[in-house]
Each structure stands twice: as C-alpha cells, then as structure tokens.
Structure 1
Amino acid sequence: MTTLAYIPSPTISQFELGPFTIHIYALTMLLGIVVCVWMLTVRWQRYGGTFDQVLDTTLVAVPCGIVGARLYHVVTTPERFFGPNGDFVEIFRIWNGGLGIWGAILCGALGAWAWCHHKRYPMALMADAIAPGLLVAQAIGRLGNWFNQELYGKPTTLPWGLKLNNQGTAIGSSEQCYDGATCPTGTLFHPTFLYEMIWNLIGAALIIWIGHKTINRLKAGSLFALYVMWYTAGRTWIEMLRIDFSHQILGLRVNVWVSIIVFILGVVAFIIIQRVGTSTQVLANKLESITMQERDQQEESQHA
C-alpha cells in the first residue's frame, strides 16, 4: 500500500565546511540559544535591566546547562558510556545527541542563580523573563532530532507520520519498530519532535499572554513555575509515545516519572510563590536601582 502523505526525513545530519564538520544538531542548539537570549533581553529590559546583564548571566548559565544536560544523559543511560559495550569518549561527542533537558534546566538555573546572587539581580525576575524563551529554544532544538532521525515515536498510519530513510549520515537511518524488529518498508512513525515543537511554541505564547494580562496579580517567579508545569505536562504524554531505549520504573520510562515529579514540584512552587513571593513591580524597581548603580560605576571608571 502506497503512503500518500508523510513527513520526510533529511538525508544529512552534518556537512563539511572546509576542514570542519558542521553538525546540524549543534546549529539548532546554537540558534535556540541565540533566540532565547534575544527574547530574554527584550523582556529583561522592560523590567529595567540591560543587555550586558543578560550576556554576563548567559555566559555563566549556558555552559552550566550544557554540562548538566550531558551529565543527566550519562547518568540515565550509563551503558552507552561505561561497561564492556560502552565508549567513554562518547561522553564528549554531544553532537551525536544525548542532552537531557532536566539536567540543563537544573544546572543552568544554578549557574544563573549564583551569578544573579553575586550581582544582586532579582532571580525571580530573571526566571520569568526567560520562561517563554526557553520554550522557543527547546522547540528549535527539536529540529536537531529531526535531522539526526532520533527520538521518534511508535509506528503510525497518520498522514503526518515521519518517514525515515537509509541514506546519508543521519543517525537513525535504519528503520526499527518499537519491538526492535525491522519494520516493513514505508513504515511511518509519530514525529514526536514535531509534537514537542508545537506544544512548546503554544506554551511560549500562553506564558507571554498570561504575563501581559496578570502582571499586577501574579508574584515574580510565577511565569517560570507555569513554564515548568506546561513543559512537563506535554513531555509526559510525548515521552510515552517514544520508542528509543530508556530505563523503566514500574512500567514507565524514567523521563515520564521525572516529568510527573517536576510537574508536581512546579504546582507546589506556584502556590508557594503566590503566598510568600514578592511582586514583580517591587523587584523591577530594585533592578532599575541596580542598573543605575552599575551605570554610575561604569561612568566613574571611564573618567578615572
């Protein structure tokens, strides 16, 4: 039976530029970071901050996030890197895929918190400012999975099913069904990368809209808590469609359990923030004062 409609897969996941090999997965990550920083800057400046403050925080948070993302993947799939069938050097080849968002958020947030604490920037404002940008960056990053032909879902007959190929350098070029057996030629798979892209973009738009409508009612940090709840709610059902290898606990993939637990923590955090948090306007006033002090110090140093 001929399939009339499907989503094709790219035939490449990398290309050569002179002596360098450019991995498209890495390019999508870089593009996601750039867009996220741009969105963060626009929102942060509305609170009274500057681009330099965003840049300095980014230079600390991004490396921490990348390290955390890789560590999460290594911890949850150790057999890929250790043991008789593991390759320790593969830990450092992040362009081959394998970055856990949970580790990225945790370590990236810790890095940002440490820098904000050092510079006295209101961390709750920073979290709210970056929330929609994170979702957009994660959506862009999922394109890297498409080019790598990885992390797709179960076989489907839907017209937007993902068609794999056996050409080029894509990592997932060999078709396999969820049971590990070779699938019939023409098998389509749920494009989980696309599902998450759409879910994240909708979430980013909702957070921006909610922030605009409730700026004087929600406490600072609320939008980041909503980001956590939205992303984990979507990740739960999307993760259950995926057929790539994952350890399971009580019949559920590890990332499903993590999503459920983090969602609950997001709900608890949202409630606590409303009860004991500080208003956005109060922290915005504090940020404006810090920004003015920094500008005065810069002017004094220039005239010294």
Structure 2
Amino acid sequence: MALDLSTLPLAFQFTSPGPILVKLGPITIRWYGLLIATAVLIGVSLSQYLAKRRNVNPDLLSDLSIWLVIGAIPAARLYYVLFQWSEYAQSPERIIAIWQGGIAIHGAIIGGTIAALIFARLKQVSFWQMADLVAPSLILGQAIGRWGNFFNSEAFGAPTNLPWRLYIPLERRPPELASFEYFHPTFLYESLWDLMVFALLLTLFFRGVAGKSRLRVGTLFMVYLATYSLGRFWIEGLRTDSLMLGPLRIAQVVSLTGIALGLAGLAWLYIRKRPLPDVVSPLKGDGEMGG
C-alpha cells in the first residue's frame, strides 16, 4: 500500500508569522534586517577566530568585514533590481526598500569580491588568504539569511503537498498559481545545503591547521564556490520567482559558472600545483595554510 505523504501530521508545515518582528511607534524591526545583522555579527566573530588559528591578524578581518558589508549589500540589491527593472521602473521609490526583501546573493558575492580585492590591494595582504577565512562565515551567513525569505513569504518553489510544505498567502502567490496554497520551502532546502557546505569547510580548515592535510591557500574559497553553486543550481530549478534573462534562469547560469571556476581553481592548485594569482604572496611562502 503506497504511503500518502499528504496525510502525515503537519509537524513540519511552515507558515510565516509575517515580516515584522516588533513595531514600537515609528520604529519597525523586521525579521529580514535582524537576520542580516545576526549573520554579519556571527560571521565577523567566526572569521576572527579562524584568523587566530591560522596566525593571521584578526583585526584585518574586522576591517575587511566593513568593506564587505559596504560592497555586498548595495550590490546584492542592485543585481536584483536590474533583473526586475520592469517592476521597479514603475515604482522607483521602492528601489531602496531593501527591508521588503529582494536581494540577490550572487550580487552580494560579486560586490563583496570587488571590495575584498580593493581591501587586499590597499592593505597589501593576500586576497586568497582573506577569502579562505571569510568563506565559512559567508556560507553560514547565507544559511541564516535564507530564513528572511521565509518571513517575507518569498523565494519559494513549485506547489507541493509534502509534509514540510510551505503556506504562502494569496497576495504573495504568482497569479498563475493563485489556486495553490502550499509550495516547496526552497529557502529551507538552501539553508540546509549551506549548513552542509559550512560543515565541510570547517572540517577542511581544521584538518589543514592541524597538519592532517596539505591545504593550499585559496582551497576553501574554491570549494565554497563549487559546492554552493552545485546546490544552488538544482534548488533554483524548483523556484517560481527566478530572475530571468529571456528563457534562462540567471542564478543557474551563474551557478554553472561558479562550479566551473571552483573546479578550475582546485585543478590549478592541486593538479598544476601552482598558487592562485594574488595581490601579494600568502604568509606561507609555499602557498599552504599556516597553523
């Protein structure tokens, strides 16, 4: 007898309580903003801790975090608005309403990378060494930030009747899917995937600093790039609100590029056995992690 999953207890059914955490007079605290702030604070603390373990000045990571926020958040919003310009052109005042949602992680990665390159050049430090220390924090921040999509009832997948289905209010559903109430919680899928990538990166990091593996500088960021992109590619295929360029899902195109770049970087490091091009040489002259 086949099991009808839709009849199971709805212990995992998700229903957003709404985007606002608390409202005190003119002051409104939204879940989205709280989650971003939490991700940044945890990320900075974690990066500083990892820097100490690799004998890198943790103050560098504190300074870098300011550059990353300044570069990543506006770029994430700009990226999203550009691919949704037909919508924002009608209401340009909404462009700055980032608290309503509508940021793209790929835009954040691009903006953050540019900011980090400028920082590395000005401070004369290794870009890849900084990238390795930030990568675990970045993917953990993505895992946390994805829950902002839950509270905003956005970034959900196709209709489903699975026990862990996500309820979407009528006003948040695409017009062609208005008759459906429950959808794939793709925010949850990506958050869980990100946590697995985070665990992988930390495992590689601590094996490297303990001398159990010869981990070359740049490895963690390349692993992050390839593994995150792999998960994002298949999860994006479930989404109903993908940013599009003609018939192509932009996130899938970018994810394929990320997979290719990550694998190419790892091949360069471990097959060609050469260091990645950098602003300056890492602290370890042989291009391996210091502990």
Question: TM (normalized to structure 2)?
Answer: 0.85
Q: Distance in 2 between matches of 1:181 and 1:111?
A: 40
Q: Distance in 1 between matches of 2:99 and 2:226?
A: 29
1:12-51 matches, within 5 Å, as 12-14=18-20, 15-51=22-58
Deviation at 1:154, TM superposition (A): 0.7
> Structure 1 residues 52 and 210 mapped into 2: Cα distance closer, same or farther (>3 Å)?
closer
Judge conservation of contact 1:36–1:136 (CA < 8 Å) in 2. yes
1:159: Cα distance to partner? 0.7
Whole-angstrom CA distance in 2 between matches of 1:246 and 1:120: 37
Call closer, same or farther: CA 1:199–1:224 in 2, change over 3 Å: same
- Trace 1:109-258 onto structure 2 (pairs within 5 A): 109-165=113-169, 174=171, 176=173, 180-184=176-180, 187-214=181-208, 216-244=213-241, 246-249=243-246, 251-258=247-254
Question: Are the aligned partners of 2:16 and 2:151 in contact in 1 as well (CA < 8 Å)?
Answer: yes
Structure 2 runs not aligned, ≥5 long: 1-5, 286-291
Q: Is the 8 A contact 1:48 1:284 kept in 2?
A: no
Deviation, structure 1 residue 50: 3.0
Query: Whole-Å Cα distance in 1 between the matches of residues 182 and 152 of structure 2?
Result: 16
Distance 2:106 2:34 in 1: 21
Residue 73 of structure 1 pairs with residue 88 of structure 2: no
Tell me what 1:290 maps to. none
After superposition, the C-alpha distances for 1:199-219 in whole angstroms (9 at most, x for unaligned) are 000100011112333455231
2:238 partner SS:
coil
Aligned partner of residue 223 in structure 1, secondary structure: helix
Residue range with higher mean Cα deviation, 139-148 or 38-47: 38-47
Amino-acid identity (%): 32
Helix, strand or coil: the match of 2:171?
coil
Q: How far does the alpha carbon of each residue in 1:35-64 deviate from its partner, in whole angstroms, 9 at most, with x for none? A: 111111111112222332212111112111
Kept in 2: contact 1:13–1:23 (CA 8 A): yes
| DSSP-derived class of the 1:180 partner | helix
Letter aligned with residue 108 of structure 2: A
- Residue in 2 that maps onto 1:277: 275
CA 1:195 to 1:114, structure 2 compared with 1: closer, same or farther past 3 Å? Answer: same
Q: What amino acid maps onto 2:261 in structure 1?
A: L
The AA in structure 2 aligned to 1:176 is R
Structure number with bigger Rg = 1
4+ aligned runs moved over 6 Å, structure 1: none
Letter in 2 for 1:88: P
AA at the equivalent of 2:249: R
Would the alpha carbon gap of residues 63 and 265 (structure 1) be closer, same or farther in structure 2, given more than 3 Å must change?
A: same
Counterpart among 84, 92, 101 of residue 96 in structure 2: 92
One-letter amino acid of the counterpart of residue 73, structure 2: I
Partner of 1:174, secondary structure, is helix
The one-letter code of the counterpart of 2:94 is E
Distance in 2 (alpha carbons) for counterparts of 1:113 and 1:248: 28
Aligned to 1:58: 65
Contact 1:175–1:183, Cα closer than 8 Å, also in 2:
no
The CA RMSD over aligned residues, in Å, is: 2.1
Counterpart residue type for residue 164 of structure 2: W
1:106-161: CA deviation from partner (whole Å, max 9, x where unpaired) = 11111122112211222211111111111110000011100000011111111111
1:47/1:9 CA distance change after superposition, 3 Å: same
